[in-house]
A and B are shown apart, each in its own frame.
Chain A
Amino acid sequence: MTELSVRVTDLHIEFEVFSDRRAGLRQRLATQEGSGRRLIKAVNGVSFETRRGEAIGVIGSNGSGKSTLLSALAGLIKPTSGEILVSCEPKLLGVGAVLLNGATGIRNIRLGCLALGMSSEELDDRVAEIVEFTGLGEAIDRPLKTYSAGMRARLHFAISTAVQPEILLVDEALSVGDKEFRKKSRAKIESLLANAGTLFLVSHSTKQIERLCTRGLWLENGKLLADGPIADVIAQYGDDEYGADD
């Protein structure tokens, strides 16, 4: 039996959000209810365990808690209750990753890698290889604000995988980028899995998940509806009304 990489026990994550209609100041000071705040249960009692070498596809409709779950696994959101244990700090790769828009691609690579904890000596050694992997050519010296969504995705993917994480969390980031880059990123993920890493992949494309993943988690309204071999979970998801169009 291979080693555990992640254990999630009865995870709950709640957010306080401001609803559109806010009460007046007097009412807000008088009662908590009038504050216009509502509690959102993004993740509601989820438990699972994963092992090294597993590739887990997380599916579910918009707002089902997939991205929140990934952020929590990455340690970016504190669980309201429950526990997340990991064997190594997971790295999150998301399309939303914000870097410095005014700075060039290469400077963003440096900054991102430093943020992930790479030392500047190691970075100096590896920056050429990372730039090469992005395949961005001379665009690497252009400011990030001139990049297309696909180009940004390449940059993010290159940064997140540069540290060779044991646990990689990918949030919708592979759906952008051209065919050649998709091939390259798939190769990178496969080498990660071959090195006994663990992959979590959130995607709307069940096709992509089926290609890359061995196991599926189906989240709906913050609850885990199914957990099992990817083909079974996708079949269940497809039968359900929620996943009708995917």
Chain B
Amino acid sequence: MTVHDDPHPESDDQDQDQGLFSLDESVSSRAYVAEIWKRRDFALSLPIEELQSSHKDTLFGNIWHLGNPLLTAGVYYLVFGKLLQVSRGVDNFVVWLMIGVFTYQLTSGTIRGGASSVASRQGLMQSFRFPRAIVPISNMIGELLAFAFQLLVIVLCAFATGVGPSRRWFLLPVILLIHTAFNLGGSFIAARLNDGFRDIQQLIPFVLRLAMYASGVMFPLDRIIGRNDLVDWLVRLNPIASLINFYRWMILGTELNVATSALAVVESLLILWFGFRFFKVAEYRYGQP
């Protein structure tokens, strides 16, 4: 997408005299990011609009943003805390499980939504010209907004089960930033793939479900480690497992493996970098009939 305020400097002399430029030349990543930044209010208002209108047809309206994760927590408490009384060798299993489920939901929701958003926002893209990366970005913002309510419920449940605040909580913005880098990168990749082959949308849920079992969402990973070398390596390389563990460490004080955590940070940044470039290459194809 060209920065349209200044005519393209590389066009030939005659065109420069006339002040004409082309709209379909690809721009540098920096100019592209600048163009996104210019429309940051748009990227922000799109998910906020949708969030506000998503529960409009219900009696309680916006209360559901909080009510939904609260009810989920209630179900976990009843089933795992009271009925089955499983702890799977974990202290405070209900909160531990909630952290896993909600943080994994942020990842899976962002990636799945990112893939479908480029298809579902076709009308918007055919009507207005803006950097297409805004579409997965605003989807990501929407997922983050929903996650804010879930995080609130997690913290409430942590307090209710006697977990006190700690200085580790100050690291939340950093953890969220790394987590978001991974999610957005994955979402860019999924969006581009899904635009090229709509068949991908059918496969994404299965990939995400498999990743869920390899990320220690429902059970501690030491249950599956040590049986098969390949599985061990995949689990160690899996950044999602470390990302989830960041939150557990922050709230519950579980162990933090420095090596795999550092690896997850590097992987997340790499995925964002690669995803952004991978998405941008096909900029012009999104939203085409």
Contact = CB atoms under 8 A, between A and B. Distances in A.
A132 interface: no
Interface residues of A, number: 41
Nearest to B127: A97
A103 interface: yes
A114 interface: yes
A117 B36 CA distance: 10
B45 interface: yes
Contacts of B74: none
A115 B288 contact: no
A158 B227 CA distance: 65
A98 B129 contact: no
A99 B126 CA distance: 11
Interface string A78-98: 110001111111001010111
B130 A111 contact: no
Interface string B122-133: 111111111000
B24 interface: yes
Given A84-B22, A85-B11, A85-B15, A103 B127 contact: no
Nearest to B11: A85
B212 to A, nearest CB: 30
Contacts of A6: 20
26 contacts: A71-B126, A75-B2, A84-B22, A85-B11, A86-B20, A86-B22, A86-B23, A89-B2, A89-B23, A96-B123, A97-B123, A97-B128, A98-B126, A98-B127, A102-B53, A102-B56, A103-B49, A114-B39, A115-B39, A115-B128, A116-B128, A117-B38, A117-B39, A119-B38, A120-B41, A123-B41
Interface of B: 2, 4, 7, 11, 15, 18-24, 38-39, 41-42, 45-46, 49-50, 53, 56, 122-130, 284, 287-289
